[in-house]
């Protein structure tokens, strides 16, 4: 079976996650060898994922960790958790 572009697009996400079966994978790869548009879409999507996973893209607020542990310290100090009562 020869895949068309639309068919490849439908499976791009699964292809990236490596959850397509071996045969479909082979067909997609065969298509990618000859189709610049699909290759570009694949690269674009991959780049977005790289950028997403980069810690600098989604940063934590400055002082977040410090405030979190201060709040937690107060909680630990002041309350008896349920498990102590059980």
Query: Interface with other proteins includes 14 (CB under 8 A)?
Result: yes
Say how many residues touch other proteins, by CB under 8 A: 47
Question: Is the CB of 14 or the CB of 27 nearer to other proteins?
Answer: 14
Query: Interface with other proteins includes 29 (CB under 8 A)?
Result: no
From candidates 4, 29, 30, 67, binder to other proteins by CB under 8 A: 67
CA distance 17 to 25: 11
CA distance 80 to 84: 6
Question: Is the CB of 29 or the CB of 43 nearer to other proteins?
Answer: 43
Crossing angle of helices 22-34 and 36-53, rounded to 10°: 110
User: Using CB atoms within 10 A of its CB, is residue 38 exposed (0-12), middle (13-18) or buried (19+)?
Assistant: buried
CA distance 26 to 19: 13
Interface ranges with other proteins (CB under 8 A): 6, 9-10, 12-14, 16-17, 19, 36-37, 39-41, 43-45, 47-58, 60-61, 64-65, 67-69, 71-73, 75-76, 79, 81-84, 86
């Amino acid at each position: 079976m020869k895949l068309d572009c639309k068919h490849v697009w439908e499976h791009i996400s699964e292809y990236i996650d490596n959850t397509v079966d071996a045969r479909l994978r082979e067909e997609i790869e065969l298509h990618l060898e000859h189709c610049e548009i699909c290759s570009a879409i694949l690269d674009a999507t991959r780049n977005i994922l790289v950028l997403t996973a980069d810690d600098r893209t989604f940063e934590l607020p400055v002082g977040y960790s410090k405030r979190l542990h201060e709040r937690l310290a107060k909680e630990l100090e002041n309350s008896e958790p349920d498990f102590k009562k059980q």
